[in-house]
Chains A and B, each alone.
Chain A
Protein backbone atom coordinates (compact mmCIF):
# COMPACT_ATOMS: atom_id res chain seq x y z
CA UNK A 1 0.00 0.00 0.00
CA UNK A 2 1.27 3.46 -0.90
CA UNK A 3 2.13 5.59 2.12
CA UNK A 4 0.04 8.41 0.62
CA UNK A 5 -3.06 6.27 1.17
CA UNK A 6 -2.33 5.51 4.79
CA UNK A 7 -4.77 7.06 7.29
CA UNK A 8 -3.66 9.99 9.46
CA UNK A 9 -4.18 7.98 12.64
CA UNK A 10 -1.80 5.26 11.37
CA UNK A 11 0.82 7.84 10.36
CA UNK A 12 0.55 9.51 13.77
CA UNK A 13 1.06 6.17 15.52
CA UNK A 14 4.04 5.33 13.29
CA UNK A 15 5.56 8.74 13.98
CA UNK A 16 5.15 8.34 17.74
CA UNK A 17 6.88 4.97 17.38
CA UNK A 18 9.85 6.69 15.72
CA UNK A 19 9.12 6.76 11.98
CA UNK A 20 10.10 10.32 10.99
CA UNK A 21 8.92 9.75 7.40
CA UNK A 22 5.32 9.59 8.63
CA UNK A 23 5.57 13.16 9.88
CA UNK A 24 6.70 14.36 6.45
CA UNK A 25 3.65 12.73 4.83
CA UNK A 26 1.34 14.33 7.41
CA UNK A 27 2.85 17.79 6.91
CA UNK A 28 2.79 17.56 3.10
CA UNK A 29 -0.74 16.14 3.11
CA UNK A 30 -2.23 18.96 5.19
CA UNK A 31 0.16 21.88 4.60
CA UNK A 32 -2.06 23.69 2.08
CA UNK A 33 -5.22 23.63 4.19
CA UNK A 34 -3.44 24.68 7.36
CA UNK A 35 -1.43 27.39 5.58
CA UNK A 36 -4.55 28.75 3.84
CA UNK A 37 -6.47 28.72 7.12
CA UNK A 38 -3.76 30.76 8.88
CA UNK A 39 -3.37 33.10 5.90
CA UNK A 40 -7.12 33.75 5.80
CA UNK A 41 -6.86 35.11 9.36
CA UNK A 42 -3.59 37.06 9.34
CA UNK A 43 -3.37 38.03 5.63
CA UNK A 44 0.41 38.26 5.71
CA UNK A 45 2.79 35.69 4.24
CA UNK A 46 5.63 36.10 6.74
CA UNK A 47 3.31 35.87 9.73
CA UNK A 48 1.54 32.88 8.16
CA UNK A 49 4.90 31.16 7.71
CA UNK A 50 5.80 31.83 11.38
CA UNK A 51 2.45 30.61 12.72
CA UNK A 52 2.57 27.54 10.46
CA UNK A 53 6.03 26.72 11.80
CA UNK A 54 5.01 27.28 15.43
CA UNK A 55 1.93 25.13 14.90
CA UNK A 56 3.95 22.13 13.78
CA UNK A 57 6.61 22.64 16.43
CA UNK A 58 3.79 22.33 18.98
CA UNK A 59 2.42 19.28 17.14
CA UNK A 60 5.85 17.60 17.14
CA UNK A 61 6.47 18.31 20.84
CA UNK A 62 3.02 17.08 21.85
CA UNK A 63 3.33 13.86 19.83
CA UNK A 64 6.85 13.14 21.10
CA UNK A 65 5.80 13.78 24.69
CA UNK A 66 3.02 11.20 24.23
CA UNK A 67 0.35 13.77 25.08
CA UNK A 68 -1.72 13.37 21.89
CA UNK A 69 -5.26 12.20 22.42
CA UNK A 70 -5.89 9.54 19.79
CA UNK A 71 -9.64 9.90 20.08
CA UNK A 72 -9.53 13.21 18.23
CA UNK A 73 -8.80 13.55 14.53
CA UNK A 74 -5.39 14.83 13.48
CA UNK A 75 -6.33 17.68 11.12
CA UNK A 76 -8.98 19.32 13.35
CA UNK A 77 -6.52 19.08 16.24
CA UNK A 78 -3.77 20.82 14.22
CA UNK A 79 -6.28 23.45 13.06
CA UNK A 80 -7.19 24.15 16.70
CA UNK A 81 -3.52 24.65 17.55
CA UNK A 82 -3.12 26.99 14.54
CA UNK A 83 -6.27 28.87 15.55
CA UNK A 84 -4.97 29.37 19.12
CA UNK A 85 -1.61 30.60 17.81
CA UNK A 86 -3.35 33.07 15.50
CA UNK A 87 -5.25 34.41 18.53
CA UNK A 88 -1.95 34.66 20.44
CA UNK A 89 -0.50 36.61 17.52
CA UNK A 90 -3.35 39.13 17.56
CA UNK A 91 -3.17 39.47 21.34
CA UNK A 92 0.55 40.23 21.12
CA UNK A 93 0.00 42.76 18.34
CA UNK A 94 -2.73 44.48 20.30
CA UNK A 95 -0.39 44.93 23.24
CA UNK A 96 2.50 45.94 21.01
CA UNK A 97 1.51 48.14 18.05
CA UNK A 98 3.34 47.23 14.86
CA UNK A 99 5.97 49.62 13.53
CA UNK A 100 6.41 49.19 9.80
CA UNK A 101 9.97 49.88 8.62
CA UNK A 102 10.48 51.50 5.23
CA UNK A 103 13.15 50.47 2.75
CA UNK A 104 15.40 53.41 3.62
CA UNK A 105 14.83 53.32 7.37
CA UNK A 106 14.72 50.51 9.88
CA UNK A 107 13.87 51.41 13.45
CA UNK A 108 16.08 48.57 14.72
CA UNK A 109 19.14 50.30 13.22
CA UNK A 110 18.82 53.12 15.72
CA UNK A 111 17.25 51.66 18.85
CA UNK A 112 18.29 49.01 21.29
CA UNK A 113 16.80 48.30 24.68
CA UNK A 114 20.19 47.14 25.95
CA UNK A 115 18.59 44.18 27.67
CA UNK A 116 18.47 40.48 27.01
CA UNK A 117 15.57 39.36 24.84
CA UNK A 118 12.45 37.87 26.37
CA UNK A 119 13.32 34.52 24.75
CA UNK A 120 16.77 34.61 26.36
CA UNK A 121 15.24 35.40 29.75
CA UNK A 122 12.68 32.61 29.39
CA UNK A 123 15.37 30.05 28.51
CA UNK A 124 17.51 31.21 31.44
CA UNK A 125 14.55 30.96 33.78
CA UNK A 126 13.72 27.46 32.47
CA UNK A 127 17.34 26.37 32.97
CA UNK A 128 17.34 27.66 36.55
CA UNK A 129 14.10 25.80 37.25
CA UNK A 130 15.57 22.58 35.79
CA UNK A 131 18.68 22.90 37.97
CA UNK A 132 16.58 23.60 41.07
CA UNK A 133 14.48 20.49 40.44
CA UNK A 134 17.64 18.41 40.02
CA UNK A 135 19.07 19.83 43.26
CA UNK A 136 15.85 18.80 45.04
CA UNK A 137 16.67 15.18 44.18
CA UNK A 138 20.02 15.22 46.05
CA UNK A 139 20.43 13.62 49.48
CA UNK A 140 19.50 16.12 52.20
CA UNK A 141 23.05 16.72 53.55
CA UNK A 142 24.47 17.36 50.07
CA UNK A 143 21.54 19.56 49.06
CA UNK A 144 21.97 21.63 52.22
CA UNK A 145 25.65 22.36 51.52
CA UNK A 146 25.06 23.09 47.84
CA UNK A 147 22.21 25.53 48.54
CA UNK A 148 24.26 27.36 51.17
CA UNK A 149 27.29 27.61 48.89
CA UNK A 150 25.65 28.43 45.52
CA UNK A 151 22.41 30.18 46.40
CA UNK A 152 23.31 31.79 49.74
CA UNK A 153 26.99 32.32 48.76
CA UNK A 154 28.24 31.20 52.18
CA UNK A 155 31.89 30.26 52.70
CA UNK A 156 32.74 26.66 53.60
CA UNK A 157 33.79 27.89 57.05
CA UNK A 158 30.30 29.37 57.55
CA UNK A 159 28.65 26.23 56.14
CA UNK A 160 30.69 24.03 58.48
CA UNK A 161 29.60 26.13 61.47
CA UNK A 162 25.96 26.24 60.40
CA UNK A 163 25.72 22.47 59.84
CA UNK A 164 27.93 21.53 62.79
CA UNK A 165 30.46 19.56 60.74
CA UNK A 166 34.12 20.04 59.87
CA UNK A 167 35.15 22.11 56.84
CA UNK A 168 36.45 18.92 55.19
CA UNK A 169 33.05 17.24 55.59
CA UNK A 170 31.30 20.26 54.10
CA UNK A 171 33.76 20.23 51.17
CA UNK A 172 33.19 16.49 50.70
CA UNK A 173 29.41 16.91 50.68
CA UNK A 174 29.70 19.68 48.07
CA UNK A 175 31.94 17.46 45.95
CA UNK A 176 29.49 14.54 46.09
CA UNK A 177 26.57 16.88 45.35
CA UNK A 178 28.27 18.04 42.14
CA UNK A 179 29.26 14.48 41.18
CA UNK A 180 25.68 13.29 41.68
CA UNK A 181 24.25 16.18 39.67
CA UNK A 182 26.67 15.47 36.79
CA UNK A 183 25.73 11.77 36.89
CA UNK A 184 22.02 12.53 36.48
CA UNK A 185 22.70 15.12 33.77
CA UNK A 186 24.95 12.73 31.81
CA UNK A 187 22.67 9.72 32.24
CA UNK A 188 19.66 11.57 30.84
CA UNK A 189 21.54 13.70 28.28
CA UNK A 190 20.10 16.82 29.91
CA UNK A 191 21.36 19.97 28.22
CA UNK A 192 21.74 22.87 30.62
CA UNK A 193 23.12 25.45 28.22
CA UNK A 194 21.49 28.16 26.14
Chain B
Protein backbone atom coordinates (compact mmCIF):
# COMPACT_ATOMS: atom_id res chain seq x y z
CA UNK B 1 0.00 0.00 0.00
CA UNK B 2 2.82 2.34 0.92
CA UNK B 3 4.43 1.61 -2.40
CA UNK B 4 1.23 2.35 -4.27
CA UNK B 5 0.88 5.66 -2.45
CA UNK B 6 4.44 6.61 -3.27
CA UNK B 7 3.97 5.80 -6.95
CA UNK B 8 0.85 7.91 -7.15
CA UNK B 9 2.64 11.08 -6.11
CA UNK B 10 2.74 13.63 -8.90
CA UNK B 11 6.15 13.78 -10.54
CA UNK B 12 6.65 17.42 -9.65
CA UNK B 13 7.02 16.66 -5.94
CA UNK B 14 9.82 14.11 -6.40
CA UNK B 15 13.14 15.97 -6.50
CA UNK B 16 15.60 13.90 -8.50
CA UNK B 17 18.77 15.85 -7.81
CA UNK B 18 20.68 18.16 -10.11
CA UNK B 19 21.33 17.21 -13.72
CA UNK B 20 24.74 15.73 -14.50
CA UNK B 21 25.26 18.62 -16.94
CA UNK B 22 24.88 21.11 -14.10
CA UNK B 23 27.55 19.34 -12.06
CA UNK B 24 29.88 19.17 -15.06
CA UNK B 25 29.33 22.87 -15.72
CA UNK B 26 30.21 23.71 -12.11
CA UNK B 27 33.38 21.61 -12.24
CA UNK B 28 34.42 23.22 -15.53
CA UNK B 29 33.67 26.67 -14.12
CA UNK B 30 35.83 25.92 -11.10
CA UNK B 31 38.74 24.73 -13.26
CA UNK B 32 38.49 27.82 -15.48
CA UNK B 33 38.24 30.34 -12.64
CA UNK B 34 41.31 31.88 -11.16
CA UNK B 35 41.59 34.81 -8.81
CA UNK B 36 44.24 37.47 -9.24
CA UNK B 37 45.12 40.04 -6.62
CA UNK B 38 46.76 43.33 -7.52
CA UNK B 39 47.32 45.81 -4.70
CA UNK B 40 43.90 46.13 -3.03
CA UNK B 41 42.04 44.87 -6.09
CA UNK B 42 40.80 41.36 -6.82
CA UNK B 43 40.10 40.15 -10.34
CA UNK B 44 38.21 37.06 -11.41
CA UNK B 45 39.71 35.51 -14.51
CA UNK B 46 37.92 32.86 -16.55
CA UNK B 47 40.30 30.91 -18.76
CA UNK B 48 38.60 29.13 -21.65
Contacts and interface: CB of A to CB of B under 8 A. Distances in A.
Nearest to A38: B15
Contact of A60 (B16, B18, B29, B38): B29
A184 to B, nearest CB: 7
B33 to A, nearest CB: 6
Given A24-B27, A43-B12, A184 B33 contact: no
A20 B26 contact: no
A7 B45 CA distance: 29
Interface string A110-146: 0000000000000000000010010001000000000
Given A43-B12, A65-B42, A189-B45, A20 B19 contact: no
A53 B35 contact: no
Interface string A20-50: 1001100110011001100110010100110
A64 interface: yes
A20 B43 contact: no
B30 A52 contact: no
Contacts, number: 75
Contact of A64 (B18, B22, B33): B33
A57 interface: yes
Contact of A23 (B12, B30, B39, B43): B30
A137 B39 contact: yes
Given A23-B27, A28-B23, A61-B44, A188 B38 contact: yes
Contacts of A35: 15-18
B32 to A, nearest CB: 10
A36 B15 contact: yes
Interface of B: 12-13, 15-19, 22-23, 25-27, 29-31, 33-36, 38-39, 41-46
23 contacts: A23-B26, A23-B30, A24-B23, A27-B26, A31-B23, A32-B15, A43-B12, A43-B13, A48-B15, A49-B19, A53-B18, A53-B25, A56-B26, A60-B26, A60-B33, A64-B30, A64-B33, A65-B42, A133-B41, A137-B39, A189-B36, A190-B36, A190-B43
Interface of A: 20, 23-24, 27-28, 31-32, 35-36, 39-40, 43, 45, 48-49, 52-53, 56-57, 60-61, 64-66, 130, 133, 137, 184, 188-191
